[in-house]
Amino acid sequence: MATNTATVIKLKVNFQLNTPNGLRRVIFGLEKDATSGKIVVWTINFQLFERAKKSDPFGDPIVSLDVEVDKALNAKAEKAAKGLTAGQSAHALGPAAEDAKAAEDGEIDQEDAQETIQNTLKKK
């Protein structure tokens, strides 16, 4: 079978954010999907990990949420893909993590948590 140069259809880089106490970790993944010939769709893969002690490994994520980014925020998503700013990092490790867990515990609606996660992109 003849092989030719492969064409990249998706590239995904996960941004890893650790809390200073080493007990929590957020994986903020940004995916751009323009492959099906439709309008560009950005998706945030948000995962929150917790561990009791620093010597323990992080297991499976306690929360894992996929958020399809509002098209109005596409430009901000494009920019965030080049790296989160300090404000965005703070939002992801702060309100986004809090709301993701609150939604998992049933304290708030999942839509609210998704909106908070998406708001990470709006931060300076």
Partner 1 sequence: MQRRNIRLTLRRCVFAGEICLLLIVISAHLCFAQDERAIEATELGNLQNFYATHDPHYARIVAQLPALQSALTELKSAAGQSCSSPIEIALRRTTSAIQSSEQPQYGLIRALVTIPGEDDENRLAKVLACVNDARLQALAQNVQEEFDLIDLVEAKRKAKAALRKVVEEKQAAGSCKGIDLEQAGLKVRSIRINDPFVFLPWVKARQRRAAEQITALIKDKPFTYTDASAKALDIIENENFLPDTSDARVKLRVEIVSVANCTNGGVDLIYGVYSTQIMPVLSARPEARVKERETPQTAAGQTTVETKDASPFHFTPLGGYDFTNLLSGGGRFEYRPRKFFGLPLKSAVIQGQASSRMHNVSGALEGAYDSEVEAPGWLAHASWMLNFSHYSLPTGAGNIKGGHLIAQFSGVSKPLAGGNLSFRFGAAVDGGNRQTEAGTLILPPNTVLNAGFGTLKFYGAVDSRFRRNIFSATYALELGSVGPAARIDWRKHIIDARHQFWYSFGNHHLLDLESHFTAGRLQIPGKVPLPERFFGGNNEEFLIASDDWQIRANPVIRAIPGSKFFQTTEGAGGKDFFSYNFTAAYGIWRRTLVPEELTTDDDFKSELEGAITTVTSTLQNYYSSKDPNYENVKSQLPAEQTALTDLKTVVANAQAAHANQFADLFKACTRAVNLGLRRMNDAISPTAGDQYSSIASVLDPDDSDLLKVNTACERDLNGALQDEALRAATARVESARKALTAQFAQIDQAKAEKKANDDMAFTRRSLNTLFKDVNIYSISPVFVFDVARIGPRSGSIGGTRYGPGGGIRLELATTAHFTLGYAVNVNRGPGEGRGNLFFAIGIRDLFY
Which CB sits closer to partner 1, 69 or 97? 97
**Residue from the set 91, 117, 118, 121 that interacts with partner 1 by CB under 8 A:** 91
Alpha-carbon gap, residue 99 to 2, rounded angstroms: 51
Rounded to a whole number, what is the largest CA-CA distance in the chain?
Answer: 56
Residue 104 token pair = 């998992």
Select from 18, 9, 14 the least CA-distant residue to 43.
14
Residues 49-78, interacting with partner 1 (CB under 8 A): 50, 54, 57-58
Binding-site member from 68, 70, 111, 122 for partner 1 (CB under 8 A): 122
* 115 lines the binding site for partner 1 (CB under 8 A): no
CA distance 97 to 117: 8
**Binding flag, residue 121, partner 1 (CB under 8 A):** no
Cα-based distances in Å from 5 to 2, 8, 20, 34: 10, 10, 43, 20
Contact flag: residue 10 with partner 1 (CB under 8 A) = yes
| Residue from 44, 53, 72, 84 in contact with partner 1 (CB under 8 A) | 84
Q: How does DSSP classify residue 89?
A: H
Residue 33 interacts with partner 1 (CB under 8 A): yes or no: yes
Interaction site with partner 1 (CB under 8 A): 1-22, 24, 28, 31-33, 35-37, 48, 50, 54, 57-58, 80-98, 100-102, 119, 122-124
